[in-house]
Amino acid sequence: MLVHQILKSKSTTGVLTIESTAKVSDAAKILADNRIGSVVVSDDGGKTASGILSERDIVRELSNVGKGCLDQPVSTYMTSKLVTCTSKDSAQDILGIMTEGRFRHMPVVEDGTMIGLITLGDLVKAQLSVLAMEKEALEGMIMGH
């Protein structure tokens, strides 16, 4: 399965973003309100991603520096060395990259423009769907259908 197929199957379109100058507390509110694990940092309204801030990033800094981190700009704690993929990449390849890199969210970029965000959960769901289809096909072959 390819990334573009997964993006089409997602119930929401677009990517929630926050500006790098926004407070970490604002990012935490976006995460909580939308029940998501990360927010993409973009200073141009979502066209390009300059970073990503995850709930893990926030919890780590709360542990290290205390609640004062919530008043800092998102740029202070965001991951700025983003790993991205394209819509033509395979889910299996992206799953391997995420597993090896130990992250759960990846922006999808085409021609320098962010077109979506793919999550580890999206990839697992896609892989399970493929396995279910393969299982049905094999059962059909065995039963002579």
Q: What's 104's domain CATH number?
A: 3.10.580.10
Using alpha carbons only, how large is the chain's radius of gyration in Å?
Answer: 18
**88, 3 Cβ separation under 8 angstroms:** yes
Structural domain range at position 91: 3-143
User: What is the predicted pLDDT for the residue at 15?
Assistant: 87
* Whole-number Å distance between alpha carbons of 129 and 123: 10
pTM of the model: 0.83
The residue type at 118: I
User: What is the predicted pLDDT for the residue at 145?
Assistant: 65
Domain count, the chain: 1
Q: Is the pLDDT of residue 83 over 80?
A: yes
**87, 115 Cβ separation under 8 angstroms:** yes
